[in-house]
């Protein structure tokens, strides 16, 4: 399992990074990204903390990536914050998409798919085909999520993603240790969203390639 969207006590998660990573290892994870919620008020603090969790790679058989989830930031301000995240050492940049379960500012999806620094548009709700096309052009992955509530539009995201040819990935948006899943479960979630088994397995390949891409860059 490769999971590129999780939360710790540095935002609204329940456990410290060490515990989350240890539990992920037990679940058979190959890699995990710690992507706590950030805006302009806390980004320096969050990244300074989660970057230290990379020490776990020395003693556990797992890749640990330091990241952020830019959350409820006005669309016009997302690009500058994404650039600041890169400057501060974020390896994975997730942006909180227009899920139907929260009052995300309209226009967030449209703004995010224009930003080259972004890696993942999370739970993008009723994303449009035009937005998916722009995500492809800027090499942004669209998320199919296992998280209750946000996953209500997985079928729509999968359909639009497949029609456009966008890169789809499965993440957990973990807040509690019980949110972590196995690779088999990730495949089932993708298939439940309407993907074939082969397409579902491709989401895992997409996640692996994203890691390879971001870790080959210097921050």
The total number of structural domains in the chain stands at 1
List, in order, residues 6 or more apart from 109 with CB less than 8 Å away: 97, 98, 121, 124, 125, 127, 128, 131
Q: Which residues of the chain have pLDDT under 50?
A: 218-219
Domain span at residue 58? 2-215
Instruction: For residue 66, give the CATH number of its domain.
Output: 3.20.20.140
pTM, to two decimals:
0.96
pLDDT in tens, 142-164: 999 999 999 999 999 999 999 99
Which of helix, strand or coil describes residue 81?
A: helix
- pLDDT at 215 (0 to 100): 75
- pLDDT at 218 (0 to 100): 40
- Angle value at C-alpha 10, between 204 and 169, nearest 5 degrees: 15
- pLDDT at 217 (0 to 100): 55
pLDDT in tens, 114-131: 999 999 999 999 999 999
Phi-psi region of 151 (alpha: psi -120 to 50; beta: other; left: phi over 0): alpha
Distance CA 139, CA 120 (A): 9
Distance CA 24, CA 145 (A): 17
């Amino acid at each position: 399992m490769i999971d590129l969207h999780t939360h710790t006590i540095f935002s609204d998660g329940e456990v410290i990074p060490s515990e989350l990573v240890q539990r992920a290892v037990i679940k058979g994870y190959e890699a995990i990204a710690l992507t706590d919620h950030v805006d302009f008020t806390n980004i320096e603090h969050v990244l300074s903390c989660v970057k230290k969790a990379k020490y776990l790679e020395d003693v556990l058989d797992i890749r640990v990536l330091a990241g952020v989830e830019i959350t409820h930031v006005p669309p016009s301000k997302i690009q500058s914050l994404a650039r600041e995240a890169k400057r501060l050492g974020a390896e994975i940049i997730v942006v909180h998409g227009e899920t139907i379960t929260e009052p995300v500012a309209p226009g967030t999806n449209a703004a995010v798919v224009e930003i080259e620094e972004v890696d993942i548009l999370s739970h993008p709700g009723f994303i449009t085909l035009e937005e998916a096309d722009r995500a492809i052009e800027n090499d942004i992955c669209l998320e199919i999520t296992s998280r209750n509530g946000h996953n209500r539009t997985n079928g729509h995201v999968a359909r639009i993603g497949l029609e456009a040819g966008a890169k789809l990935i499965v993440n957990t948006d973990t807040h509690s240790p019980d949110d972590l899943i196995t690779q088999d479960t990730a495949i089932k979630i993708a298939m439940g969203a309407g993907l074939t088994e082969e397409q579902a397995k491709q989401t895992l390949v997409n996640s692996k390639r994203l890691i390879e891409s971001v870790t080959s860059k210097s921050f």
